[in-house]
Amino acid sequence: MTDRDESVCPHCGEKMKKWDPGAESTWECKFVWVCFNDDCPYFVRGWDHMMSSQQIRASYRHRRIPGTSDTGPLAVWSPYALRDGIIED
């Protein structure tokens, strides 16, 4: 394998979705790649991690800024959170 497809989640191998960060976002891109796979290990692990470290019921999804190697967590408070922003092709 040479270049990995930037739209594939490195944690679960699923194709990520385009997600609109909204007008108040500080990101200057039109969309962000976000893994909305509820079985993604990154997302599944996040619940326990947030509860034990922050005592809050939340998790995070893997996200990536298109065209860059900028990846990181996108905090969510439920499996349904942020889905309004999904951009379907």
Q: Work out whether 35 is an interface residue with Zn ion (CB under 5 A).
A: yes
4-33 per-residue burial string, b: 16 or more CB within 10 A, e: under 16: eeeeebebbeeebbbbebeeeeeeeeebbb
Q: Nearer Cβ to Zn ion, position 26 or 38?
A: 38
Which of 11, 58, 75, 81 binds Zn ion (CB under 5 A)? It is 11
Window of 10-18, 44-52, 66-74, 76-84 that interacts with Zn ion by CB under 5 A: 10-18
Cβ neighbours of 68 (radius 10 Å): 9
- Give me the numbers of helices (H) and strands (E) for the chain, helices first please: 1, 5
Task: Quote the DSSP letter at residue 74.
Answer: E
Q: Which of 36, 37, 50, 59 binds Zn ion (CB under 5 A)?
A: 37
- Report the nearest approach of Zn ion to the CB of residue 16 (Å): 7
Question: Residues in the site for Zn ion, rule: CB under 5 A?
Answer: 9, 11-12, 35, 37, 40
